[in-house]
Amino acid sequence: MGEIIYRGGNPELEKEHAKYLITAGTGKIWGWDSPAGRERVNARVKWFIKKCGLRPGLNVLECGCGTGIFTRHFAQTGARITATDISGELIEIAKSQFLPQVIFVQVNLEDPEILPDNYFDVLCGVSVLHHLNLPHALLQLNKKLKPGACFAFTEPNLLNPINKYMLFTDNMEKRKRLGVTPTEMAFKPKELSVLFQESGFKVLSVEHRDFLHPSTPKSLIPLVKAAQFIAEKIPLIKFWSGSLWITGFKM
């Protein structure tokens, strides 16, 4: 990937990028608004609820809540959600959904001192870790969790050809146009797992998911989902998946 060998470490850039996303349309850039995108949202929501056991009484730290696309689903479980983002503008959009049981906090996850220590039962997020200086951020976030707390994240897979050659290209203008900042980078599966393990977490699984691209026409979604079900289980082919879904707990 040329000189792009690091992640995060530039909170002001991320705040400015959030303004660009709002102007360009977050749903369009992130791909959540299309018919296939909504299928991807629903699949993630079901997975998070199952893997994290979301239910009333749990304190959940959602990292990178953005406009609250997933926040509202998490809140419906009755869990107490603390939804965080580095962008105040994105949080204001999320707040407009009127979720009184959710606490919204603007915070840089690489320096989350304002969050309480040893408090959260669950740590989760969608496509946020690849924006961070992750070795540093995970050590800081670890302090915020109770012993045995669960974590679950979905992140872009660098082994996927679209991610590697289109989204995370060395062409900075193309990256900007596609909503990718200069300091974010997808993960390879082993790298992501090792980063968690070195930060005091036990990794239970790294799943290869998402062959259904957000731009898939509605008429083709059933066919692609059927092919995806098979592809996610075939050795070698599954490693080209669009996303990595990782889960585990604090040791």
Its pTM stands at 0.95
Per-residue confidence at 4, pLDDT binned at 50, 70, 90? very low
Contacts 24+ apart (CB under 8 A), 190-198: 192/129, 192/155, 192/244, 192/246, 193/246, 195/134, 195/135, 195/138, 196/138, 196/151, 196/246, 196/248, 198/135
User: What is the spatial distance between Cα 137 and Cα 140, in angstroms, rounded to a whole number?
Assistant: 5
Check pLDDT > 60 for residue 1.
no
User: pLDDT by residue (tens digit) across 155-184?
Assistant: 999 999 999 998 898 888 888 788 898 899
**Sign of the C-alpha dihedral, residues 95, 119, 40, 186?**
positive
Check pLDDT > 70 for residue 131.
yes
Q: What is the pLDDT of residue 196?
A: 98
Does the domain spanning 11-250 belong to CATH 3.40.50.150?
A: yes
Give me the residue spans of the domains in the chain: 11-250
Q: What is the pLDDT of residue 12?
A: 95
Read off the pLDDT of each residue in 26-51 and give the average, rounded to a whole number: 94
**R_g of the chain, CA atoms, integer Å:** 17
Check pLDDT > 50 for residue 29.
yes
User: pLDDT by residue (tens digit) across 66-116?
Assistant: 999 999 999 999 999 999 999 999 999 999 988 888 999 999 999 999 999
